Amino acid sequence: MAEIHETTVEPGKLELLTRWLPTRPWYAGAGSPALIKSGGFRLDDPDGEVGIELMVVTDTEPGAPTDEPVVYLVPMTYRGAPVEGLDHALIGTAEHGVLGPRWFYDAAYDTVFIQQAAQLLTGKATAQDQNTSDTPDLTVHVVPGDILTPAPGFRPTVIDTEAHTDIAFDSDRSTNAGAELIRLHRHLRIGAGLERDRSHVDAPWSAPDGSLRRAVFLSAP
């Protein structure tokens, strides 16, 4: 289980994301974002080496091209050393008050996240509370499907659009490259959920007015 430390991170996650988000094709703002943390949950790395967090942030900047603030899903992995070949997915680096230097990555490109996201969508992993160690997050709902374990040594193919990020990968049942697909819903919106026969994960977040909203975070389209 991941241990949550009560300590400082400099620069903070929101500061790192403020610089990084405008570089993404799914960023919907008109300028520099004004971010607040709005929710999310964590996943455990079975090896205990990589932190995995699915963070929800709200851009309260009035220049956003909609009447309401834009809400983003930003899965991140935290590592104690840089990963060769992931420079393009680096969000930034920070100093953790207990663990020391940390490298923050866009989790869509990180194989440890992809493995655990597939396990979650299959019903074999449990979402963890974002702020408390060793505590399942019972507000996260999973409709499991038949996505299987990514094949050993797999290399994901990641496709960003204006609304979501698709991650294609080989699994232990694949006969064709990229046979499995996980979709990250980058913009969280109010609305009907996916059909009940589709594998997906939905969870709540807090709107700026304090109300709770819920939407699909991950799915297997």
The model's pLDDT over 90-115, given as tens digits with 9 standing for 90+, comes to: 999 888 655 678 899 999 999 999 99
State percent of the chain over pLDDT 70.
85
For residue 56, what are its two tokens? 């929800």
The model's pLDDT over 111-142, given as tens digits with 9 standing for 90+, comes to: 999 999 999 999 999 999 998 888 999 999 99
| Cis? peptide before 25, omega within 30° of 0 | no
Q: Is residue 152 scored above 90 in pLDDT?
A: no
Q: Is residue 189 scored above 80 in pLDDT?
A: no
Sign of torsion over alpha carbons 208, 211, 212, 217: negative
